[in-house]
Amino acid sequence: MSSNQSGVSLASKSLQQQLEHYNLDQEELFNILNDLINTKLNTLCKKYCFNNRYNYQCTIDLPWGINEPDNPLCEWGNASYAWMLSELTHANRLEKIQGENSTSLLRYFGKIIHSITFIERFKNWRFQRRIRVPDYIKAIDMDAHKVFWGLCDHEDPRNVAQRLNRSEEDVLSIIKRINEELAQRKRSHLLDLTQISSLTSTTNPEDQGAEVDVPVDDKPLDQMQLESKVKAAYDQLSWLEQFVIDAMIIDGLSAKAVLKSLIQQNISVDEKVKPADMNIQNIYYFFRKTLAKLKETTGIN
């Protein structure tokens, strides 16, 4: 058992009462979360590792770090694991999935963990950086920027209020003001996925982990129109199509990694092929077919 997996056991003890309250199978849930989190960390933690691998033993992938027993374990792996687990298991998320089967759980948590907003929240926690909030939003209230981030993440207002130690009435009032300000300036799109253009863009300004603002407002009209088309087409995809697109384009995972993840969850991309009988070519075919579907729907050549 890895140090990350042992973290699941510790976390599960603290969550056991909540899981019982929401009628969720503890072992099943944490098996799903453990696979999803480790797959995500294998990409994100390495991407933002910098020089840590030359000074510490990696807890995500042992060969990645310096494999010397005298060197200390890297703290970022376990800390990142704990952060993701906490993000995925707060009360309002658990409330939405009570009584669901494993396929529904994988679909629900897979969509969250592969979303742009989840990745943005991770980078905020990792680098103390945030989605850029317009000044006219910040002027609404001392916590307006935090409420704005919650809206971008489609977070329940009750959860935002609890996190900010504010009343629900306060938060709802701030949300109302934010929506009014955005509507007045025709900037309501800022609350959508802030980087849906990642599906069509080939550049990534944060490949080196630079602490830069996400340029979410004042976009050119043609870019806004393209993003709107892509988002509309993306929303029409099945959860499995979204899962594969997110994993291979946004996260940069290999077809082999996606194949392994789906086999572990007993899910096939082809109804004629059993999960255990799938190979990389099945993943590539499904991926290309989904991309073609996106391009056809959006009219992108």
25 or 211: which leads in pLDDT: 25
Span 188-242, pLDDT tens digits: 656 653 333 333 333 333 333 322 333 334 445 555 566 677 777 877 888 888 8
Distances (CA, A) of 60 to 1, 38, 73, 124, 236: 12, 7, 10, 20, 34
pLDDT at 254 over 60: yes
pLDDT higher at 268 or 149: 268
Residues 6+ apart with CB under 8 A from 92: 155, 156, 158, 159
Q: What is the pLDDT of residues 132-144, one digit of tens each?
A: 677 888 899 999 9
For residue 173, name the pLDDT band (cuts at 50, 70, 90): very high
What are the structural domain ranges in the chain? Answer: 3-100, 114-218, 219-301
Q: Which two tokens stand for residue 122?
A: 């991770």
CB atoms within 10 A of CB 249: 18
Mean pLDDT of the chain: 74
Q: What is the pLDDT of residue 252?
A: 67
Choose among 41, 47, 84: nearest CA to 59.
41
Cβ atoms 214, 131 nearer than 8 A: yes
Q: What is the pLDDT of residue 85?
A: 86
Cα angle 61-244-19, degrees, rounded to a multiple of 5 = 70
Give the helix/strand (H/E) hosting 96. Answer: helix 91-96
How far, in Å, CA of 158 to CA of 156, rounded? 5
Contact in structure between 73 and 90 (CB atoms under 8 Å)? no
166 against 70, higher pLDDT: 166
SS3 109: helix
Tell me the chain's radius of gyration from C-alpha atoms: 20
Contact between residue 10 and residue 82 where contact means Cβ atoms under 8 Å apart? no
Tokens of 247: 């994993």
pLDDT per residue over 48-100, tens digit each? Answer: 777 778 888 888 888 888 878 788 888 888 888 888 888 888 777 777 766 66
Range name among 1-15, 158-172, 239-253 with the lowest pLDDT average = 1-15
CA pair distance 52, 194, nearest whole angstrom: 29
pLDDT band of 161, cuts 50, 70, 90:
confident
